[in-house]
A = this chain, B = another copy of it.
Amino acid sequence: MTAAALLRPRAAQDLAARLARSAAAVGHGDHVRTEDVPGWLAARSRAHRFAVRRVPLDRLDGWSFTPDEGDLVHRSGRFFAVRGLAATVDEGPFGSWQQPIIHQPEVGILGILAKEFDGVLHFLLQAKMEPGNPGLLQLSPTVQATRSNYQRVHEGAGVKYLEHFTDAARGRVLADSLQSEHGSWFFRKSNRNMLVETDAEVPEDPDFRWLTLGQIGELLRHDHLVNMDARTVLACFPMAVPEPGALHSDTELLSWFTAERARHDVDVRLVPLAGVADWARDAEGIGRPDGRFFRITGVTVEAGNREVTGWSQPLLEPCGTGIAAFVFRRLGGVPHVLVHAKVEAGYLDTIELAPTVQCTPGNWDPVRTEDRPPFLDLVRAADERGTAHYAAEHSEEGGRFLEARIRYLFVSADEDTAPVDPPPGYRWVTVGQLNSLTAHGHYVNVQARTLLACLNSGAVRL
């Protein structure tokens, strides 16, 4: 090999154009029509034997409360644990509090396999059952596996297609970053979000389908068809959106982010679950007497096509449907969304960029009106009048959360409702800027990534 032949370009030459072409391919792909996908999901559901039943936490097989801390753990010491968290933050009406939190220090893989058919990139999604999903089966990444999972702690069958993600030399990695998940429910969780392209022949399992990015965008206009794990990987697709400019340069945006991360005092530590203030264990689970935030509950699962055929586990069940909305405007002709540098106690580092509005409205009922989230009224009014540019309900990680429903919206604004100079902690960014940040971890939070997935896939065009 000559010396120069060792080199390759630092940036992929044609990837953005190929992704754009795939996003433009709607209606049908090489393998399936979009309109047939919901029926196919229903058929896969019938082909398997799924049953999810609630059970009290002390009747979960393999799970128990530790004698000293009262933490809820699996006998293997793996998977995840429910522990206590004590947090003090310097902003917002909540100040100091304690809560249960899911602790899962292992990094899992969320991977989507890509392959060209007839010159168009297709992505291999799986009809996957998760016990917490509304509807149980949703479209998930090609591979969605915790490390316990793929290292076979539960001694089940191997994870299909895993080799494409653990042995990168088999294909071309198009994206690979560590991304956070819900900072209110997880303690410093992150997963690898991977997009890998292959030229090899790939056998298509009955539970998997190749779809174009445009088809996935069509499906994202439906409620509860595309799961959170697929959405977060879709957000990381390197779209390289062409834009003539932005309200703030990339360096100004990073500088603002750095200042936001530096200015907050956030003190967080794990504490014994047994002593968590304001939460109590009852016959069914763990919750708050005032019914706010969430409960820890248990389920047993019977399934025919999972790595194991049955199991039981705790799940976190949010109280009420959440809202996650980007307020958007065209500034200088270029679409911008209003991001919020949001503190959440479970983040690795103080803040991440969240949607303009991200909350569960019911949790804010006891809070003084002036302390409630900015732009919440704007977003709710648009949703109630049916004037939102996009509105769909999606659910969060069904392997950890039970019926965690969030209403995702894009709401148009103007200088009166959302000025170019927004309140402290908010900033206008272009779609291209938001997308670029997902090449790195811990910038864009998981709710914002669902909204970004809608933009990347063409489910929403601003």
Interface residues of A (CB under 8 A from B): 3-12, 105-107, 168, 173-178, 192, 194, 238, 243-252, 254-255, 258-259, 261-262, 265, 267, 330-334, 348-349, 420, 430, 432-433, 439-441
Query: Complex Cα distance A261/B245, Å?
Result: 34
Q: How far is the CB of A418 from chain B (nearest CB, A)?
A: 14
Given contacts A12-B251, A251-B12, A440-B440, contact A176 B259 (CB under 8 A): yes
Which chain B residues border A177 with CB–CB below 8 Å?
Answer: 254, 258
Across the two chains, which residue of chain B brings its CB closest to A245? B7
Q: Are B7 and A244 in contact (CB under 8 A)?
A: yes
Q: Are B3 and A333 in contact (CB under 8 A)?
A: yes
Query: Complex Cα distance A177/B262, Å?
Result: 10
Q: Are A334 and B7 in contact (CB under 8 A)?
A: yes
Given contacts A11-B250, A168-B255, A173-B255, contact A4 B261 (CB under 8 A): no
- Report the copy number of this chain in the oligomer: 2
Some 12 contacts from A to B, beta carbons below 8 A apart, are: A3-B330, A6-B332, A7-B245, A7-B331, A8-B249, A12-B251, A168-B259, A174-B251, A176-B258, A177-B254, A178-B262, A348-B349
Q: Are B246 and A10 in contact (CB under 8 A)?
A: yes
Q: A107-B262, A174-B251 are in contact. List 6 more A-B contacts (CB 8 A).
A: A3-B332, A6-B247, A9-B249, A192-B258, A192-B259, A238-B251
Across the two chains, which residue of chain B brings its CB closest to A7? B245
Q: How far is the CB of A260 from chain B (nearest CB, A)?
A: 11
Q: How far is the CB of A297 from chain B (nearest CB, A)?
A: 29
Given contacts A251-B175, A251-B176, contact A8 B246 (CB under 8 A): yes
Which chain B residues border A433 with CB–CB below 8 Å?
Answer: 10
Q: How far is the CB of A239 from chain B (nearest CB, A)?
A: 14
Partner of A250 from the list B6, B10, B430 (CB cut-off 8 Å) is B10
Across the two chains, which residue of chain B brings its CB closest to A261? B178
Which chain B residues border A251 with CB–CB below 8 Å?
Answer: 11-12, 173-176, 238, 439
Q: Are A10 and B432 in contact (CB under 8 A)?
A: yes
Given contacts A175-B251, A176-B251, A251-B173, contact A245 B8 (CB under 8 A): yes
Across the two chains, which residue of chain B brings its CB closest to A262? B107
Q: Are A258 and B5 in contact (CB under 8 A)?
A: no
Query: Complex Cα distance A99/B274, Å?
Result: 30
Name the residue in A7, A192, A246 with the highest tally of chain B Cβ atoms < 10 Å from its Cβ. Answer: A7
Across the two chains, which residue of chain B brings its CB closest to A108? B262
Q: Are B332 and A246 in contact (CB under 8 A)?
A: no
Partner of A9 from the list B168, B194, B245 (CB cut-off 8 Å) is B245
Query: Complex Cα distance A80/B176, Å?
Result: 36
Q: Are A12 and B259 in contact (CB under 8 A)?
A: no
Given contacts A173-B251, A258-B178, contact A245 B10 (CB under 8 A): yes
The 9 closest A-B pairs by CB, nearest first: A7-B245, A176-B255, A7-B332, A107-B262, A6-B332, A173-B255, A10-B250, A4-B332, A176-B258
Which chain B residues border A245 with CB–CB below 8 Å?
Answer: 7-10
Q: Are A439 and B254 in contact (CB under 8 A)?
A: yes
Q: Are A6 and B258 in contact (CB under 8 A)?
A: no
Q: How far is the CB of A429 from chain B (nearest CB, A)?
A: 10
Q: How far is the CB of A314 from chain B (nearest CB, A)?
A: 22
Query: Complex Cα distance A452/B247, Å?
Result: 31
Q: How far is the CB of A248 from chain B (nearest CB, A)?
A: 7
Q: How far is the CB of A272 from chain B (nearest CB, A)?
A: 14
Q: How far is the CB of A354 from chain B (nearest CB, A)?
A: 19
Query: Complex Cα distance A168/B254, Å?
Result: 12
Q: Are A7 and B246 in contact (CB under 8 A)?
A: yes
Which chain B residues border A259 with CB–CB below 8 Å?
Answer: 168, 176, 192
Query: Complex Cα distance A243/B11, Å?
Result: 12
Q: How far is the CB of A12 from chain B (nearest CB, A)?
A: 7
Q: Are B332 and A5 in contact (CB under 8 A)?
A: yes
Which chain B residues border A174 with CB–CB below 8 Å?
Answer: 251
Across the two chains, which residue of chain B brings its CB closest to A270? B269
Query: Complex Cα distance A176/B12, Å?
Result: 27
Given contacts A3-B331, A249-B9, contact A176 B244 (CB under 8 A): no
